[in-house]
Amino acid sequence: MDIQVIGVRGLPLIQKGDDLPALICDRVAFEDGDILAVASSVYSKAKGFTRDLAAIVPGADAVRIAAKTKEDPRFVQAVLDSSADVLLEHPFILSELPSGHIGVRAGVDHSNIEDGRLIVLPPDPMGAAEDVRSGIHRITGKDVRVIVTDTCGRAFRRGQTGIAIGWAGMTAIDDYRGDTDLFGHVLEITEEAVVDEIAAFANFVMGESHQGVPAVVFRNCKAWKGHDMVYFTPEEDIIRAALKKNKKD
Amino acid sequence: MDIQVIGVRGLPLIQKGDDLPALICDRVAFEDGDILAVASSVYSKAKGFTRDLAAIVPGADAVRIAAKTKEDPRFVQAVLDSSADVLLEHPFILSELPSGHIGVRAGVDHSNIEDGRLIVLPPDPMGAAEDVRSGIHRITGKDVRVIVTDTCGRAFRRGQTGIAIGWAGMTAIDDYRGDTDLFGHVLEITEEAVVDEIAAFANFVMGESHQGVPAVVFRNCKAWKGHDMVYFTPEEDIIRAALKKNKKD
């Protein structure tokens, strides 16, 4: 059966306190097994994960880094506040969040929000996905899988793509270690980051500035089995180690 | 209009000399504007971009690296032969290909091919995409956009995802520099790597070991404008620089 990919149109500008699952359910007739990708920005706005730039007092590190990145020190402070470990300070801040996600400017964003305000990523992105999933189940009775997405640059290639920062009702990785290929060989490529593949295409459908389409439904997608260990440990992560070493040098 | 995503099923095991566009057109009623994602592995097999392991004589570098990676020195030689610049030798070879793509083991693969043979990436992946596109136009008269995909690991996150190594009939990047967000701000995130977002979801549909679905059709996708500069220059690429510096140390 073909997969259908449906952009959720007509959502209002999301405000703090809005019931995001209810607003989405008003516009989508969900079916069991659907995958809903929702932009972290609208989840954060509904939950009030935003900050007033005017209320932020930058510390010494923020002032020092901001001089290098040519950004507002208060913005840099918000990035540092969202970060557990900074891997790179310049030409842009690359940091690890408490969730394990490594991203540019810790996902702090001043697009798609009023002047002087910042959107930060949901501090518990896995909980955010589960929250949307249970909200939809409460309203519709349907068993929907949910991915919370962010837009992020990547190594070696220009341009941002959508990635998953939280997911519920599925595993991040489709793990087929031990399976065989078309010729009966045990597969070498054994772990596919399916949540990121779906988040990527969701971001394509959301489009520039999310064009008022901050949620995308995927219908007739397969199920899979695997695990959620999408983030390397620091010991496993060769590129992180190289960046940390360079930072010290 | 909803997007339809159609896995192309029932293709035979591809052999050297097969007319891949014709085999796909036998199974898909293309419409103008469709995007076809095709796995580089089947393109390479159709064109004979494969190697006999037994015919490869490993050089000193291949022998030295193979001792560290615990791989067959002949396999390592094939990886080096496909590489323009090696960024990391161990625990896996990460290298830049002549096309600019940076990937693990230069995309050389011994899955989904007979024992003792290797599949290498098409040496001209942009030409490969154009070749499939023009083949489909010749057969059907339809104006189809084409992405040639590979499966590749990424920095900071476990698991492989599909990426684009060649594309035709579209630009790699949707460039909306100067556009404004929902609040009228000029956008900060301005370059979206749309070919990679589509390739990622294509890989999800292809599934493990590509399950006999090495081609995926996307119908009703928007058009966009941008550019093809998806690969950083060495000067722009911070992570590449860090890896090269560590290699020297």
Q: What is the 3-state secondary structure (H, E, C) of A135-169?
A: HHHHHHCCCCEEEEEEEEEECCEEEEEEEEEEEEC
Inter-chain CB proximity A161 and B246 less than 8 Å: no
- Cα distance from A202 to chain B (closest Cα, Å)? 8
Inter-chain CB proximity B243 and A240 less than 8 Å: no
CATH annotation of A1-49+124-249 = 3.30.1330.100
pLDDT in tens, B119-155: 999 999 999 999 999 999 999 999 999 999 999 999 9
pLDDT in tens, B60-99: 999 999 999 999 999 999 999 999 999 999 889 999 999 9
pLDDT at B249 over 80: no
In chain B, residues with a C-beta closer than 8 Å to the C-beta of A113 are 183
ipTM score here? 0.95
In chain B, residues with a C-beta closer than 8 Å to the C-beta of A159 are 172-173, 191-194, 196, 230
Inter-chain CB proximity A230 and B162 less than 8 Å: no
pLDDT at B211: 66
Helix (H, G, I), strand (E, B) or coil at B211: helix
Inter-chain CB proximity A161 and B189 less than 8 Å: no
pLDDT at A235 over 70: yes
Phi and psi, residue A222, nearest 5°: -60, 165
Q: Which of A155, A160, A173 sits opposite B191 (nearest CB)?
A: A160
Interface probe with B: pick from A239, A243, A249, most Cβ of B within 10 Å: A239
Inter-chain CB proximity A5 and B6 less than 8 Å: no
Residue A14 Rama label (left phi>0; alpha psi -120 to 50; beta): beta
In chain B, residues with a C-beta closer than 8 Å to the C-beta of A207 are 222
B49 and B78 Cβ atoms separated by less than 8 Å: no
What is the pLDDT averaged over residues A178-189? 71
- Cα distance from A146 to chain B (closest Cα, Å)? 16
Least confident of A25-34, B84-93, B152-161, B171-180: B171-180
Q: What is the largest CA-CA distance in chain B?
A: 62
What is the pLDDT averaged over residues A117-121? 96
Q: How does residue A205 score in pLDDT terms, banded at 50, 70 and 90?
A: very high
Q: Which of B173, B201, B246 sits opposite A200 (nearest CB)?
A: B201
Each domain of chain B, given as residue ranges in start order, spans: 1-49+124-249, 51-120
CB contact burial B114-147 (16+ within 10 A = b; e otherwise): eeeebbbbbeebbebbbbbbebbeeebebebbbb
Residue B58, number of CB atoms within 10 A of its CB: 18
pLDDT at A187 over 80: no
Least confident of A83-92, A232-241, B51-60: A232-241
Helix, strand and coil in chain B, % to nearest 5: 35, 25, 40
pLDDT at A44: 97
Topology of domain B51-120, CATH: CofE-like fold (3.90.1660)
What are A154's two structure tokens? 């990547």
Distance CA A131, CA B65 (A): 48
Q: How does residue B101 score in pLDDT terms, banded at 50, 70 and 90?
A: very high
Inter-chain CB proximity A155 and B154 less than 8 Å: yes
Start-to-end CA distance of chain B, whole Å, equals 55
**pTM assigned to the model:** 0.96
Inter-chain CB proximity A158 and B181 less than 8 Å: no
Interface probe with B: pick from A197, A211, A216, A219, most Cβ of B within 10 Å: A197
Distance CA A196, CA B55 (A): 39
Least confident of A9-13, A137-141, A169-173: A9-13
In chain B, residues with a C-beta closer than 8 Å to the C-beta of A191 are 158-160
